[in-house]
């Protein structure tokens, strides 16, 4: 009986710790030890309008590629 109650108590504690988990914070350090904030990979880096603008400039240049301009 004690084992069942202890397991139930541990299960409730685990559930609460998973439910109230804090938001992860990403950071890096520079060579001199200064802390730099980083963005999460799940957050967008560019806005939708910036991506559409880049595509509007990049797509027409795809057809301009030929073997004379290709540098290896």
pLDDT digits (tens, 9 = 90+) for 12-22: 999 999 999 88
- Global pTM reads 0.40
- Residue-wise pLDDT tens digits, 37-71: 887 788 888 899 999 999 998 888 887 767 776 66
The predicted pLDDT at position 42 comes to 81
d(C-alpha 19, C-alpha 13), whole Å: 10
d(C-alpha 32, C-alpha 58), whole Å: 39
């Amino acid at each position: 009986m004690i084992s069942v109650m202890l397991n139930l108590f541990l299960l409730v504690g685990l559930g609460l710790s998973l439910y109230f988990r804090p938001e992860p914070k990403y950071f890096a350090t520079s060579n001199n030890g200064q802390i730099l904030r980083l963005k999460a990979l799940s957050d967008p880096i560019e806005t939708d309008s910036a991506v559409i603008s880049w595509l509007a400039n990049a797509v027409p240049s795809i057809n301009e590629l030929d073997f004379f301009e290709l540098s290896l």
